Structure 1
Amino acid sequence: MQDFIIIGHKAVTTGGFSLNDMPGSAGRMDILCRCINSVFFLSHDLRRDVQAHLLLLGEPNPPRVIRFNGEKLRYLNPDERSAGALIKKALEIDDISSIETRSTPGVWIREADLSTLLSEFSSDGRKIFYLREDGEDIRSISEGLKDGVFILGDHLGLTEDEEKLVLGMSAGTISVGPLSLHADHCIILIHNELDRVAFGQIQR
């Protein structure tokens, strides 16, 4: 299982946003929707052995974590509005607490912050990798990528406090290339590296 944590610093935490204005009124929810599509979609199929955790930090009720599980996921189509509709439905649930609540098949929501997510993965013995352009080349890493947890920021990156927290609990920073890329593009490149290893095109 691969897990991706995507942090949306401005992403709203209410279901009242418009699917017609996700870059604006929804706090760049469009970035998170593109990341969801990159995490799960193959040509004519979905990746089943992967999860995405959207950490929403915008107003009015942060923090919220929406978890997408590929094995159980339904009703997701390869467009931003489809992912946005599933996020919107999750945020419309009343009385969100620290206990996960299912909104639609394969999608759950709860109240949780970055520290909680990292602690949960760390306690399970999972290796956590922080994506940054100045990190270690992903192709030079020999262990831990399979079943790894990958952390990506939105258009704002990570704050200084978030970086300090992540670096204190991660296996380090990794890079998929020398240039700064969009988070959804980084996810596709990570998948490509792992696919090539899985199918024997790269030996590690």
Structure 2
Amino acid sequence: MNRFIVLGHRAYTTGDFKLDDICGGAGRLDILVRCVNSAFFLSHDLRKDSEIYLVLEGGTDAPKTVRFYGPDMKYLNPDERSTASLIRNALLKKLDGKNEIRSSPGVYISRRSFEDVMKDLSDKCRFIYLREDGEDVREYEFPEEPCYILGDDRDPTKEEERIMSEYPYDKINLGPVSYHANHCMTIVLNEMDRRVTRMEG
């Protein structure tokens, strides 16, 4: 399973935003929507071995985490508006504590924070922090169960890096320049696809 944790530092945690304004009116939710699409969509197929955790830290009801899970996924389309609609529908659900509930097939919502998500995943995967000063991805040996951590249009805060430091993690960079978060995901998945293809060949 390829997992991603994306930190939405301003992303709204309530569903009272317009789907026509997910950039300015929903705390740059547009970035997270593009990350969802990068995690799952191929040209004529859907990756069933991907899972993405959107940690929403903005708005008046933070934090919340929306999880997209490939094996159960339905109703995910490549346009940003429909993906934003799935997130908004999840945010409209009534939550009980930190228990996760299903909003639609493959989409789950909870009140988990970044710290909660890290704790929950710590025994399931190897954390990998995508950062410019990390090891070159071309030299990196991918673990069997990777979980990539990245920010939206802002780097993780010092407090978020402190939370990360409580667990073992690797740090890799994807090239000589900075990329958008969703582009980083595409590059990582492409590297993994190439290696799987070489092994199978």
Give the TM-score, by structure 2 length.
0.95
Query: Equivalents in 2 of 1:34, 1:96: separation in Å?
Result: 28
8 A contact 1:65–1:112 mirrored in 2: yes
Q: CA RMSD in A?
A: 1.6
- Structure 1 unaligned regions, length at least 5: none
Number of residue pairs the alignment of both structures matches? 201
Q: Equivalent residue for 1:4?
A: 4
Query: Equivalents in 1 of 2:119, 2:60: separation in Å?
Result: 25
Query: Equivalents in 1 of 2:94, 2:119: separation in Å?
Result: 26
Query: Equivalents in 1 of 2:112, 2:19: separation in Å?
Result: 24
Query: Equivalents in 1 of 2:137, 2:96: separation in Å?
Result: 37
SS at the partner of 1:199? helix
CA, structure 1 residues 96+184, in 2 after alignment: closer, same or farther (shift >3 Å)? farther
Aligned ranges for residues 92-103 of structure 1 at < 5 Å? Answer: 92-103=92-103
Query: Equivalents in 1 of 2:60, 2:5: separation in Å?
Result: 21
CA, structure 1 residues 120+95, in 2 after alignment: closer, same or farther (shift >3 Å)? closer
Query: Equivalents in 2 of 1:95, 1:121: separation in Å?
Result: 21
Q: Equivalent residue for 1:137?
A: 136
Q: Equivalent residue for 2:31?
A: 31
CA, structure 1 residues 138+168, in 2 after alignment: closer, same or farther (shift >3 Å)? farther
Deviates more, 1:84-93 or 1:130-139: 130-139
Per-residue CA deviations over 1:127-158 (Å, capped at 9, x if unaligned) read 100111111111212241x3200001011111
8 A contact 1:66–1:109 mirrored in 2: yes
Q: Which amino acid aligns with 1:5?
A: I
8 A contact 1:17–1:26 mirrored in 2: yes
Q: Equivalent residue for 1:63?
A: 63
Q: Which amino acid aligns with 1:97?
A: G
Aligned ranges for residues 12-31 of structure 1 at < 5 Å? Answer: 12-31=12-31
SS at the partner of 1:74? coil
Q: Equivalent residue for 1:161?
A: 159
Query: Equivalents in 2 of 1:162, 1:48: separation in Å?
Result: 29
CA, structure 1 residues 96+34, in 2 after alignment: closer, same or farther (shift >3 Å)? farther
8 A contact 1:96–1:109 mirrored in 2: no
Query: Equivalents in 1 of 2:9, 2:62: separation in Å?
Result: 10
- Structure 2 unaligned regions, length at least 5: none
Query: Equivalents in 2 of 1:179, 1:170: separation in Å?
Result: 26
Shift of 1:176: 1.0
Q: Equivalent residue for 2:82?
A: 82
SS at the partner of 2:26? coil
Give the TM-score, by structure 1 length.
0.94
Query: Equivalents in 2 of 1:111, 1:170: separation in Å?
Result: 24
SS at the partner of 1:3? strand
Identity, % of aligned positions: 43
Structure 1 outlier segments of 4+, above 4 Å: none
8 A contact 1:99–1:110 mirrored in 2: yes
8 A contact 1:15–1:92 mirrored in 2: yes
Q: Equivalent residue for 1:189?
A: 187
